[in-house]
Copies of this chain bind each other. A is one copy, B any other.
Amino acid sequence: MSRRADQQVPDLVERARAGQARAVARLISLVETESPLLREAMAALAPHTGHAHVVGLTGAPGVGKSTTTNALIGSLRAAGRRVGVLAVDPSSPFSGGALLGDRIRMQDHAGDDGVYIRSMASRGHLGGLSWSTPQAIRVLDAAGCDVVLVETVGVGQSEVEVAGLADTTLVLLAPGMGDGIQAAKAGILEVGDVYVINKSDREGADRLRRELRDGLALGEAREAGWRPPIVKTTAQAGTGIDEVVAEVDRHAAYLRESGQLHVRRTARARAEVEAIAVAALRRHWDDVAGRDGLDELAATVASGEQDPYAAADRLLEDRA
């Protein structure tokens, strides 16, 4: 970092709060690169957080997540709301990667300073979604976004993770996705607050809706006071999108009134604090034992000389 480092963070935070996209970009880059300035930035941002409603979008590849995100941005902007979008790719170990859909979205909303869109890889040295994404959300929140959309690429673990990060989780499905959807369904019935059946002009949309409704009815409700609605959309044409926004707003109101918003946000903060503490310890283990020291320990486990629990004890004893 430059010699101006000690002035850099307050200046960045001020400019981000004034809505300057470049300052927001720079702050998120601090997250992505695990910058030494990150800590100071988070401290400066903290008092300005808590306003944004965080909406997670998840669903298998091909259901139209990018198109839906784009349509949601349009609907939210039409209502004058400021929108931040994080497109997170948990499977990519590379940072700064631009997703295909990203550039398409960028074009639609280029020049609109009420929208901030960013692609993020989530696989830094310090681990996945739980480490970097909440901090990027924090940046967008402090920068005055009313809604932050977090879109994950891929299925599997990411669904559960994104549900942990969001106030409201949208699960997207589409008819005619074949076996993949069947396999994915088991994992999605527990995580959605609002279900969206996209591409609903296609054959099979009503059947999918029925199956989904039956599946949801069979499972245990995630929360006693909220029955997840199912909305049919054709994001490409903009159909149903305002209804999705209305259901998200209804869920946000439910969360506030029931006290669940506080519960979810506390759980999210808890995971974030734990992830940061664990990352600090990992760094400490590298520093103290040295990468080689830890590898030597690991080699004794690989060879069967000692079991991993005994080695973990040694690691924990080593701490200052």
Which A residues contact B (CB, under 8 angstroms)? 38-39, 42-43, 45-50, 60-62, 90-93, 123, 128, 134-135, 153-160, 178-180, 182-184, 186-187, 190, 262, 265-270, 272-274, 276-278, 280-282, 285, 294-295, 297-299, 301-312, 315-316
Contacts and interface: CB of A to CB of B under 8 A. Distances in A.
Contacts of A299: 262, 266, 269
Given A276-B312, A304-B49, A180 B62 contact: yes
Contact of A312 (B45, B48, B160, B277): B277
Contact of A274 (B190, B309, B315): B315
Contact of A135 (B278, B303, B308): B308
A297 B280 CA distance: 17
Contacts of A93: 160, 190
Contacts of A308: 42, 134-135, 269, 272-273, 276
A298 B270 contact: yes
Contacts of A92: 186-187
A39 to B, nearest CB: 5
Given A45-B307, A179-B61, A304-B50, A270 B282 contact: no
Contact of A154 (B47, B49, B179, B184): B184
B304 A47 contact: yes
Nearest to A294: B270
B281 A269 contact: no
Contacts of A282: 274, 278
A184 B90 CA distance: 11
A171 to B, nearest CB: 12
Contact of A155 (B128, B156, B285, B305): B156
Contacts of A276: 308-309, 311-312
Given A302-B50, A302-B266, A311-B273, A280 B316 contact: yes
Given A304-B48, A304-B50, A273 B157 contact: no
Nearest to A278: B278
A42 B160 CA distance: 29
A127 B174 CA distance: 30
Contact of A62 (B154, B183, B310): B183
B281 A297 contact: no
A303 B270 contact: no
Given A49-B304, A157-B158, A158-B157, A309 B43 contact: yes
Contacts of A157: 90-91, 128, 154, 156-158
Looking at A156, A268, A280, the one whose CB has the most chain B CB atoms below 10 A away is A156
A307 B157 CA distance: 27
Contacts of A180: 60-62, 180
A157 B273 CA distance: 22
Given A50-B302, A268-B302, 18 more contacts: A39-B307, A39-B309, A45-B307, A46-B306, A47-B304, A50-B303, A90-B157, A123-B160, A154-B183, A155-B155, A155-B156, A270-B298, A273-B294, A273-B298, A276-B311, A277-B312, A281-B281, A281-B316
